[in-house]
Structure 1
Amino acid sequence: MGMRLLVLGGTHFLGRHVGTAALDRGHEVASFTRGVSGEPPAGVRALHGDRDDPTALPAALDGWAPDLAVDTSCQTRVAARNAAAVLSGVRGYAFVSSLNAYANWPPGPIGPEDGEPTWETDDDGYGPVKAYAEREIRAAVPGRFLTARAGLIVGPDDRVDRLGWWLRRIARGGRVVVPAEGWHQPIAAVDVRDLAGWLVEMAERGVPGAVNATGPAGMTTLGGLLDLCREVTGGDAEWVPVPEADLLAAGVEPWLHLPLWLPAEVAGTAWDVDTTRARELGLPSRPLERTVADTWAWLQGVEELPPPPHDLPRPGLPADLEAALLAGHDQGP
């Protein structure tokens, strides 16, 4: 039987896919956003307001009482308090947190959820805010609050564009800078569609607790992912491995200029995250080649990507930096 489901967020990437998944499961769906990043999927009721304004959500709901909530957009402590005040009566609340909520990640590793400390500081860093929001909303929705500590989320509609940058660069072909030591670093990711559908199900069931919501540890390597990108795009890219010391000396920023690459001292543990509970609760993990292929198909229909959300910098290796690195290194993995 369908219920009323509110998506906090809902106009791009994860929030958008949550809205679609909820519609597919027969729910009456509304999204609550600032109204500046486009419209939600067709069939989703668009509600607008600023989450930091305590009057905005009650005014937008205007008597429409949700049974379920999936929160994809909490960025401030005030937003968490406001959501807790208004949505304490829902049957299930699925909150999208982050592995950054853990006080020791990175570098990790991360074991079972209940044995790992989360941030308790008062600063407004990304991780401390997520950890605070978990505590605040959990107290308001006891026994019905799930926090999904997400890692790398990939798939169609991704405006953050880390996987997308690699796909476009590899499709152009030619010599491509790759991190030499990072080639074999493990990577784990979750497809945005798998995570979205699972979040809706968790809210429906009122499942409580914390879950490391990412792909299985060791599901692939950075090199394996890039090989897959080359296969999917049909490009003729030739890998040019550059030693980590040379990358850092040239000013290459890990994770930003070469998306998904982490220095060796961090990569060995950062991707080692226990996902036993996620697997027990049925978080799917579709084949990575399907995710990469679907992301590439989506990108080919996009004329120009909007800026990344939350003022994140656009990822990718600047052309002048790439040219300098290629000039000094031979090809071959």
Structure 2
Amino acid sequence: MRLVPEQHRPAIYVPQKVLLISVLSVPILAFFPVLEITLYIAPRLGFFEALQIVLLTYTIGTAWDATLFISLILLFVITRTQQTKLLSFVGMMLTILLMLALAWSSHAAAMDKVLGVTSDMIHLIAMSVWVGILLVVGYFATNTQNWIAFLNWFTYTAIGCVATLAISGFLLMDILVDGYINAWMVDYGQGMLLKHLLVVPILLFAGASSLIARFKLSRNTDFNPLPWMRLEGLLLGVLLIVTGAFTQQPPPGHNVTTEALSPIFKWFHPDVVVEAGSSIGFVVNIQSVLFLFGSLLSIIALVGSFFLKKLPPAVSFIIGCIVVLCIYFLLMTTSVIRPPGFMGGGMGH
């Protein structure tokens, strides 16, 4: 944001301690997967020898080595007293290198080195640009000056990021998942589904906050767009937490059995038996009809809440969460397990 001319954005102040904590947290949090593998092989080799092997020979270990090295350089850059445009550009490039290190150690990279790393890195960059701007402006803007000028470029930036996320996301799913719907049977697929459902209220929030801000600020009202941007950032934060949780799970294999079922999926289908080659199909029942109406009503309520002047933005946030839950319950109650070789024309195939 320091590279954006001041006349095209509100005034922003990010405390130095926030930047320091952010940079330091990257290698610390990235170390947990390294530690997990180390503890797995430590009983045979001893902790320190296992740690040395992981850091020097495992992809996730060498990626962490690079993460630590880049983070230390980035730490040096942001602690410089005088922050110039050049230093800001260097900091941005170092951040992109951190994303490359993370993409290098991802599940997608393990399955397809070139396409996996490229898709994962592009996905990370697009998400970071979109979410990063929202969080920085939403929580660290000191005023709302130049807001229309800010929206004029950020709206198109966000649209470009969403399109990039969609394309790179499809590429990643093609690498990692053998059938998107069938993946709902395992934890990885459940997390992926929740992530995608969260996009629905996020996009509605983004569109509404942009349109409402333009309309009200053009009429010189005292409208404050920051609470709307903060709630959109909060929803995106929830999305990132869900993403972080399910990406730590192994991607589903070609054949899922009952033992590998997600506990959440089992809760909706307690007596189901899954064999290798089973798939998910869909049926219509009374529960699905109720949740369909609930989904439509909650979406209408969410859109309507944007135009009620005295309604706090927090209410819209709660309704947005209800939208996600209703659509999720709709999908879970309509899904059924089809036996291997089922040829009934079900949507699960």
Which bin holds the TM-score, normalised by the shorter protein?
A: under 0.3
TM-score (norm: length of structure 2): 0.24
Q: Which has the higher helix share?
A: 2
Higher relative contact order (CA 8 A, sep 6+): 1
Structure with the higher fraction of residues in strand conformation: 1
